[in-house]
Chain A
Amino acid sequence: MVHDLYQETILDHSKRPRNFHPMDDANRHAEGYNPLCGDKLKLFLKVENDIVIDASFVGAGCAISTASASLMTESLKGKKRDEALKMLDKFHELLTTDTPITQDLGKLVVFCGVRDYPARVKCATLAWHTLKSALENVEEQVVSTE
């Protein structure tokens, strides 16, 4: 059923996204864009000593992409750069493979339903692709999920 995709936590975070604001003292930014659906987001990070101190975002997108960005910014805080990138890999695996669902992604497992909706994987990963860009490139750039 469609509720497997739109779990309560996802609906909650899409309606009331957390960390949904620009950040004046951010030292890393990146923009993400999904040209197929028009989802756009801008990610702000404050990284000190290789640790993500703070994360926020602004943008407009579907429930899945908004909730994904919201939950991602929550789970990033206090993570080392390498840990954050490892989470991205695990998150991607959660969405695109049939491997058993483990709990080490914490709250992010609510996105497990996306694996049954291949057309929506790009919505869920947009924020994470943007994160990768923000962590890997000092120069600001727009990443696209296409």
Chain B
Amino acid sequence: MSTASSVITAGFDVEKVREDFPVLKQKIHGKPLVYLDNAATSQKPKAVIDAIRKFYEVDCANIHRGVHELSQRSTAAYELTRSKVKRFLNARSTSEIIFVRGTTEGINLVTYSWGRHNIHEGDEIIIAGLEHHSNIVPWQILCDEKSAKLRVIPIDDRGELIMEEYEKLLGPRTKMVATAHVSNALGTINPVDRIIQLAHQHGALTLVDGAQAVPHIKVDVKSLDADFYTFSGHKLFGPTGIGVLYGKAKLLNSMPPWQGGGDMIMTVTFEKTTYNDLPYKFEAGTPDIAGGIGLGAAIDYVNEIGIDKIAAYEHELLVYGTEALEQIPGLHIIGTARQKAAVISFVIDGIHPHDIGTVLDRQGIAVRTGHHCAQPVMDRFHIPATTRASMAFYNTPAEIDALAEGLHQVKEVFS
């Protein structure tokens, strides 16, 4: 087993990075906080917190409305984030960047607006077998309403999609293929480029749930050729309450609005309303302005470090952590895909994940326990729940050691 110090962190000063995250400097139950629940939400760097504070202290006004100075400032700051997101995802235009509350709302927007007008009786929608509930339930609701069929790509024992089975599912009735880019429960990185390519060959559209991908790997919607791509700000070191739906402009233009209200209109009379242009057509009402501005600061922060450096460092953590946890007798890692993000989901013989979580918490270690909003994945592996350690670039090999030590204590308590 390698030691913490032997992990190569060339070009990545994790201690310096940690200084940017105020929340990490605290003790929990008398022990230094070890935050390994990044797949649930990530912590926020000071730059993000400061950007939100500045908005409320200096620039606060509603956007797209006033001629006054503050409104212009807040509008400019909010819209600047849209340009940052466009560059971050490599979209063609800011009109393709719709602000939503998060990934869940992004998917619901598509099922509601695109789905209700394009899915008909007998049509088929394909999702992957390791989806988060947010990429299952909206499609189920749509299928129920339209008497369409939901089909599922099975996963193998490693937690990888079985691509041959996927190809068999594709057919003339396939209208949409919706898949996670990275599985939240297992960490599997799905071959979305190939999934999209195959879907397009069959004339189907694609939606990618990028919630777990965007914080960890480079995403380029143009080269992926994704029709829709959605993610949440809060998993990208930004605030909660803001997220993004990317959609190809021609698709978004063809879709009806999904919520009516202010900002999404061009003209309103009691007889007829004409809708605003993209992206505003899909942004009714006052949005989460502070959240949008905070998201912009988060993207700047990630860009400054460099997403490729983040991915490389996190991969080292994954390898180190996998090796450390595999040494623990009775521990089984669930999800051993060859392409994996820094997520380690596991079970320990005879000890329930909730008990593991409680004992770890008393040692200052925050992990997620449960089904991770992915009950079908748990069913696939015949387990009720797992314990999940999900890492970010501010985690250290020493924290992995603390987790391993904590798990030894768990085993002692329940021996």
Q: Which residues of A approach B to under 8 Å, CB–CB?
A: 1-3, 5-6, 11, 15, 36-40, 60-64, 117, 119-120, 123
Contact = CB atoms under 8 A, between A and B. Distances in A.
Nearest to B352: A62
Contact of A6 (B375, B384, B385, B413): B413
A38 B384 contact: yes
A3 B384 contact: no
Interface in B366-401: 369-371, 375, 378, 384-385
B362 A1 contact: yes
Contacts of A38: 370-371, 375, 378, 384-385
B362 A61 contact: no
Interface of B: 350-355, 358-359, 362, 369-371, 375, 378, 384-385, 413-414
Contacts of B351: 63
Contacts of B352: 37, 61-63
Contacts of A60: 384
Given A40-B384, A62-B354, 19 more contacts: A1-B362, A2-B413, A5-B358, A6-B355, A6-B413, A6-B414, A15-B350, A36-B370, A37-B354, A37-B370, A37-B384, A38-B375, A38-B378, A38-B384, A38-B385, A39-B384, A63-B414, A64-B355, A120-B358
A2 B362 contact: yes
A63 B351 CA distance: 8
Contact of A123 (B350, B354, B384, B414): B354
Chain B interface, >50% SS class: mixed
B382 to A, nearest CB: 11
Contacts of A120: 354, 358
A40 B378 CA distance: 14
Contacts of A117: 358
Contacts of A61: 352
A92 B385 CA distance: 26
16 contacts: A3-B413, A6-B359, A6-B414, A11-B413, A11-B414, A37-B352, A37-B354, A37-B369, A37-B384, A38-B375, A39-B354, A40-B384, A62-B353, A63-B352, A119-B358, A123-B354
B370 A2 contact: no
B368 to A, nearest CB: 11
Contacts of A119: 358
B385 A37 contact: yes
A105 B358 CA distance: 25
A121 to B, nearest CB: 12
A1 B351 CA distance: 19
Kindly name the residue among B358, B369, B371 whose own CB sees the greatest number of chain A CB atoms within 10 A. Answer: B358
B359 A2 contact: yes
Contacts of B378: 38
A82 to B, nearest CB: 32
